[in-house]
Amino acid sequence: MVKKLLLLVLLAGAGLMFWLGVSDYQVKEELNPIASYYADQGLEETGAANLVTAVVVRYRGLDTLGEVTILFLTASILGFFLIKGNKKETFRDSSEILKTASRLLEPIIILAGVYVFVNGHLTPGGGFQGGAILASALILSYLANPTDGISKTLLKVTESFSGLSFVIIGVLGIVLAGGFLDSTLLPAGSMGKLISAGVIPIIYIFVGLKVGSELAGIVTNLKYAPKNESE
């Protein structure tokens, strides 16, 4: 009884706190100065029609690099904690429906994912979203065929290669253009075309590949066989 009362008090207090934070919230009519700078100059400076992409890859590109690093760190810690034993993993056979459907769906899902991250500078989407779609196809293939579906070595190689390429593009920006991760490394091109916006599409392709392989790696690693299981 006391516990429930305390819980109620806690929830009411938290709710009141959140509500006080937003109760006198006025719907904004104008962009704040920095956002309106991005809206006015973003297309000209980066060539990316999608302003969110312009902010993520160009104006806050270093944040994105940090974000990708955090994802890599997560995958590493996960691999560190869940060390696979020598024990042979046993899997229940997946159903015929799952196997057939995954053969049909995988190419389509992968195509959708690649479309989303290749067009990240033009349409809603980008490297992280496309990577997540790509990972869903890889995880589907893993579920349908856990023993010899996707190669973990290939995942690791793709992940390392994309991460390294991202950093190399950033460093090339220092040498050849205005600074780290500067998108004017390549010509901006004409707005709205697939090949435009400098290096933003290339960075997003690498981010997409990295996120896709990393998420698939995380999920496959969570199937954990401890080393000294006494059975």
Partner 1 sequence: MITLEYITLGTGILLMLMGIWGLVTQKNLIKIVIGFTLVDTGIHILMVSIGHIKNRTAPIIDDAVNASEAANKVVDPIPQAMVLTAIVIGLGITALMLTFVVKMAKDNNSLNVSNFKSLKW
Task: Give the binding site for partner 1 (CB under 8 A).
Answer: 7, 10-11, 14-15, 18-19, 22, 25, 27-32, 34-36, 38-40, 42-44, 49-52, 54-56, 60, 63-64, 67, 70-71, 73-75, 77-78, 81-82, 122-124, 126, 128, 191-192, 211, 215, 218, 222, 224, 226
Give me the least distance between CB of 184 and partner 1, in Å please: 18
Give me the least distance between CB of 100 and partner 1, in Å please: 30
Q: How far, in Å, CA of 20 to CA of 8, rounded?
A: 18
Closest CB to partner 1 among 14 and 168?
Answer: 14
Give me the least distance between CB of 125 and partner 1, in Å please: 10
Closest CB to partner 1 among 44 and 96?
Answer: 44
**CA 68 distance to own-chain centroid:** 8
Closest CB to partner 1 among 64 and 184?
Answer: 64
Q: First CA to last CA across the chain, in angstroms?
A: 43
Q: How far, in Å, CA of 198 to CA of 208, rounded?
A: 17
CA distances to 12, 47, 95, 122 from 195, rounded to whole Å, are 53, 10, 43, 10
**Cβ contact 221:177 at 8 Å:** no
Give me the least distance between CB of 157 and partner 1, in Å please: 21
Give me the least distance between CB of 101 and partner 1, in Å please: 26
Q: How far, in Å, CA of 147 to CA of 220, rounded?
A: 11
Closest CB to partner 1 among 34 and 194?
Answer: 34
Helical segments of 151-199, H only: 152-176
Closest CB to partner 1 among 50 and 102?
Answer: 50
